[in-house]
Chains A and B, each alone.
Chain A
Amino acid sequence: MVSSKIKLLALIGVIIIASSGIFIGVYLYQVFSGPKFKLGALSGDLHHLPLFVALKNNYFEEEGLDIHRDDVIWFPNGNEAMVAFEANRLDLSYLGLAPAMAHKLTQNAPIKIVSGVNINGSAIMVRDDPSITNLTDLSNIAVPSLNNMQDFILQIALNDFGIPIEEINRPVLSVGNMESELESMTIDGFVAWEPFNAKAADTVAKYLSYSSQIWPNHPCCVIASSLDFIERESEIVEKIIRIHKKSLEWMKEPTNFIDLINIAKKYTSIQKDSIIETALDNIGYIFNFTEYQSEVNVFYDRLVELNDNINEWPDGRSAFFNQFFDSSYLNA
C-alpha cells in the first residue's frame, strides 16, 4: 500500500501536469489560430461600412492577410478601443477621431492616424411631432458621451442658435437606448451616428438637422495604428489602407448598391432596406484626411477649448498634427 504522502504528492503532480498541458494547449491555440495582428472596429457602426465590405468581398485574403469577420475585435465604442491601444493590445482600429485625438492629447496615446474613414453621418433627432421645429423647443438632448464628435456637433448647433450650452441638459446615453428614451419622452432629442438616426426615423423620430448641415464635411471616423505596429509591420498598414480604398471604389459603383445594402443590413442587424438607404445618404466615405485639414484644425481648437482636462499640445497645434497624423500611407 502506497503511503498517503506519496498519494498526495502524486495528486499534486497530476494536477500540475494536467493544468500546464491545458494551458499550454489553449495558449498555443490562441496564438496560432488568431490573426497575426489585431484589428478593431465598432460593432454595428455604419461609419465603418468599408471594413464590412472588405470582409465580405475577401479583400483581406487578396492582400494575403488572414482576417475574417471573427478576427476583428468589435468594441462597443471608441473609448474602449483607445483603452486597448494604451494597453498595447491593439494594432489597428477603425474608430472616431474624437476619442483618438482626446486620448492623444491627454495621455499621449501611442497611435497615429493613417487614414480617414468618413465625414458627416450624424444628426440631431427629435420626436416626429410637427410642433417641434428647432433647437429652442428642446431642453433634454442625449449624447453618446461628453465632448465626442456628436456632442461637439450639438454644441456648434446650439452656438449657432445662440442658446447657451448650460441651458440644455445633455444626458449621456448609449446609442442603442436613445430611440426608446425619445419615445417615452424622457429626452426631447438626441445626437447619434448612423444607422441609429435612420432607425429612429423609421419609428418615432425625425431628423432635425443633419451634421453635414451644422458643420459641413466634419471629420468623423478614421483608421488609427499603434506606433509600434507602424514600425514593425509597415507593409500591413499599407495593405489595410489599400483594402480600405478598394472598398471605397467598390461602394461607389451603382451596380453594387443592392449588395452594399445587404452587407449593411447584415452587420447592423437592421432588416429594412429603407433605413439603410437613409443612413447611407447621410454618410460620406473618404480616405484622404488631408483634404479636410481645416475642419480637423477647428476640431482640435474646440476640443482644447471646451474641455478642462484637455490641454494644448506642448509644442502647439502644427507639431501635434505632425506627430498625430501620418499621411504617408495615403498613396498606398
Chain B
Amino acid sequence: MSRTKLKIEKISKNFRVNGTLLPVLNALSLDVHEREFLTIVGPSGCGKTTLIRIIAGLEETSSGRILIDDMVINAPSKKIGYVPQEFSLFPWKTVEDNIKFGLKINSVKKEEINEKVKELLDLIGLSSFKDYYPKDISGGMRQKVAIARSLAINQTLLLLDEPLRSLDAQSRNKLQNDILKIWKKSKRTIIFVTHNIDEAVYLSDRIVVLSSLPANLKKIIPINIDRPRDRTSSEFNLIRKEILNLIYYINIS
C-alpha cells in the first residue's frame, strides 16, 4: 500500500462573477497515491483546470485544504510541476535552456546542470533538438520538453492539464506511450486531465470522474489492466462504457 502523495480535503472554490457567487468546486476530497497515474475526467467546464491550478498553488481555495507529503499547499511548491494546456515553454529560450531554467534559478552547480539536462534530453528522446527553439518543434515535442523541465528539479508530482489536446490522433497515441515511458522511468506521481475517455483508460491507474458544476466527486474507477493496454480488448471497452455512461448521465441531469 503506497503512501498518500496528495491529500485533497473537502476543498471548495467559488468565483465572483458579475457580483454573483459561482461555486465551481464543491467539497471535493481525494487521496492521490504515490507514483500512481491518476486521471481526472468530467464534462466540459466543470472545474478541472481550476482544481489543477489550486493544486499547483496558483489559486486559493475558498475552503478546505490540500496537503502534499503532509504539508499544506498555499503557494506554488517546488515539489509540484505544472504543464498547462497552453503553450508554456519560454519561447525565447532553446529546448536545452528551457529545461535548464528551473535548475538555474535554484542555484544548482553548472556541471550538475549539464549532466541532468543531458539525462533528461535522452529520456524524452530529444537530444538532437536541444538547440531548437519552441516555435520550431512540434506540439508533442513541446509538451515533452515542458515535462522534462519539471523533472529537472525533481518535481515529484506532475500536473498535466490536457497536454495532448491539440495533437492529431497518431501523434497523440505516440505521445501517450512516451508519457507512460517517462512516468515509469522517473517514478513520479502524475495527475492527468483529459476529455478523451479512451486516453484516460489507456493511461491511468485510477480515473476520477467529476460531476458538472459545481464539481464534486462522482466516482473513482480503478483500472487493473496490465500495460501496455489493448484498446480493443473487452475489459478496456467495459470500463470505457462505464465512464461514458456516467458522463452521459451527468450531462443530462
Contacts and interface: CB of A to CB of B under 8 A. Distances in A.
Interface in B83-115: 104-105, 107-108
Nearest to A3: B107
Nearest to A4: B105
A1 interface: yes
Interface residues of A, number: 3
Contacts of A1: 104-105, 107-108
B137 to A, nearest CB: 27
Nearest to A1: B107
A188 to B, nearest CB: 68
Contacts of A3: 107
B90 to A, nearest CB: 15
A202 B120 CA distance: 86
Interface in A2-31: 3-4
B109 to A, nearest CB: 8
B86 to A, nearest CB: 24
Task: State the majority secondary structure of interface residues on A.
Answer: loop
A180 B105 CA distance: 70
Contacts of B107: 1, 3
A226 to B, nearest CB: 57
A3 B107 CA distance: 8
A4 B107 CA distance: 10
A229 B182 CA distance: 84
A1 B111 CA distance: 12
A64 to B, nearest CB: 62
Interface in B158-185: none
A3 to B, nearest CB: 8
A134 to B, nearest CB: 78
A4 B106 CA distance: 10
Contacts of B108: 1
Contacts of A4: 105
Interface in A141-195: none
B76 to A, nearest CB: 16
Contacts of B104: 1
A1 B104 CA distance: 7
A1 B108 CA distance: 7
Nearest to B108: A1
A313 to B, nearest CB: 70
A141 to B, nearest CB: 67
A196 B104 CA distance: 72
B71 to A, nearest CB: 24
A25 B243 CA distance: 76
A303 to B, nearest CB: 68
Interface in B113-129: none
B233 to A, nearest CB: 51
B174 to A, nearest CB: 36
A3 B105 CA distance: 7
A4 B105 CA distance: 8
Nearest to B107: A1
Interface in A232-266: none
Nearest to B104: A1
Contacts of B105: 1, 4
A39 B105 CA distance: 60
Nearest to B103: A1
B243 to A, nearest CB: 45
6 contacts: A1-B104, A1-B105, A1-B107, A1-B108, A3-B107, A4-B105
Interface of B: 104-105, 107-108
- Which 6 pairs from chain A and chain B are nearest by CB? A1-B107, A1-B104, A4-B105, A1-B108, A3-B107, A1-B105
